[in-house]
């Protein structure tokens, strides 16, 4: 544990989900492949589209509609609907198809096994402080065994702009009834988590479990309050 700023009194902790509480990369790789295949089976006119093709289409859609960058679920759904319309489907039918496609995506996306160590750390911390989740993604704590540890979960889109924008950090503090500087946010990303939390007036704990170099990392713009190499190190704050 290394400190870069004075640690102020903590009234609550917030956690990023993906790649902070579990390894999200293999989950998303499998999900993207299986979701593309499922769409191809349901709609043969889309069977030629690979996971990479869908990613490229989402990128173009987000460029045309920047607001969708703050809601990954809406972006995915809009991309599916647009592709179905482009292949001759009526808009109303395409919307229903997109809803069905997203329901399958959410199922696939939540095939997550949270490490036992993560659960033990959250259980220990929850005895001392209220915990909340703040995520840019669409993992559902209720579907992956994390809901019992969190007071609530905020997601980009329904609950504000995506991190590093301050919306969700400030909303979390407001809902918890605390000042932002009393919130310690824990996350793996130096821009979305660390920069976002610090600029929102909160404190930031950088989970650096891949031994990256803070001062040479491409996303390093703002110093965290502290850096840890393992989530379990948070228990030392007790």
Please give the positions annotated as active site: 16
Q: Of 110, 139, 107, 106, whose CA–CA distance to 15 is shortest?
A: 139
Q: Of 171, 188, 232, whose CA–CA distance to 18 is shortest?
A: 188
The DSSP-derived string for the chain is: -EESSPPPPPSEEEE--BTTTB--HHHHHHHHHHHHHHHHHH-GGGTT--HHHHHHHHHHHHHH-GGGGG-HHHHHHHHHHHHHHHTT--HHHHHHHHHHHHHHHHHHHT-----HHHHHHHHHHHTTS-EEEEESS---GGGTT-GGG-S-EEETBTTBSPTTSSHHHHHHHHHHTS-GGGEEEEES-IIIIIIHHHHTT-EEEEE-TT---GGG-TT--S--SEEESSGGGGGGG-
Exposed, middle or buried, 96 (CB in 10 Å: 0-12/13-18/19+)?
middle
Residues forming a β-bridge with 131: 13
């Amino acid at each position: 544990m290394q400190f870069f700023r004075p640690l102020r009194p903590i009234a609550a902790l917030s956690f990023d989900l993906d790649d902070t509480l579990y390894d999200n990369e293999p989950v998303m790789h499998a999900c993207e492949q299986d979701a593309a295949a499922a769409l191809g089976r349901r709609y043969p006119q889309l069977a030629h589209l690979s996971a990479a093709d869908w990613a490229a289409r989402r990128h173009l859609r987000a460029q045309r509609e920047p607001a969708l960058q703050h809601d990954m679920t809406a972006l995915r759904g809009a991309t599916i609907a647009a592709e179905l319309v482009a292949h001759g489907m009526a808009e109303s039918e395409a919307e229903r198809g997109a809803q069905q496609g997203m329901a399958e995506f959410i199922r696939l996306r939540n095939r997550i096994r949270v490490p036992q160590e993560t659960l033990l750390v959250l259980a220990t911390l929850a005895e001392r402080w209220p915990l909340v989740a703040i995520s840019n993604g669409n993992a559902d704590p209720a579907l992956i065994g994390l809901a019992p540890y969190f007071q609530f979960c905020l997601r980009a889109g329904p609950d504000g702009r995506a991190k590093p924008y301050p919306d969700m950090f400030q909303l979390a503090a407001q809902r918890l009834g605390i000042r932002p500087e009393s919130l310690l946010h824990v996350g793996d990303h130096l821009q979305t988590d660390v920069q976002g939390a610090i600029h929102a007036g909160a404190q930031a704990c950088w989970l650096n479990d891949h031994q990256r170099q803070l001062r040479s990392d491409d996303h390093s713009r703002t110093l965290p309050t502290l850096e840890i190499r393992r989530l379990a190190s948070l228990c030392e704050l007790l």
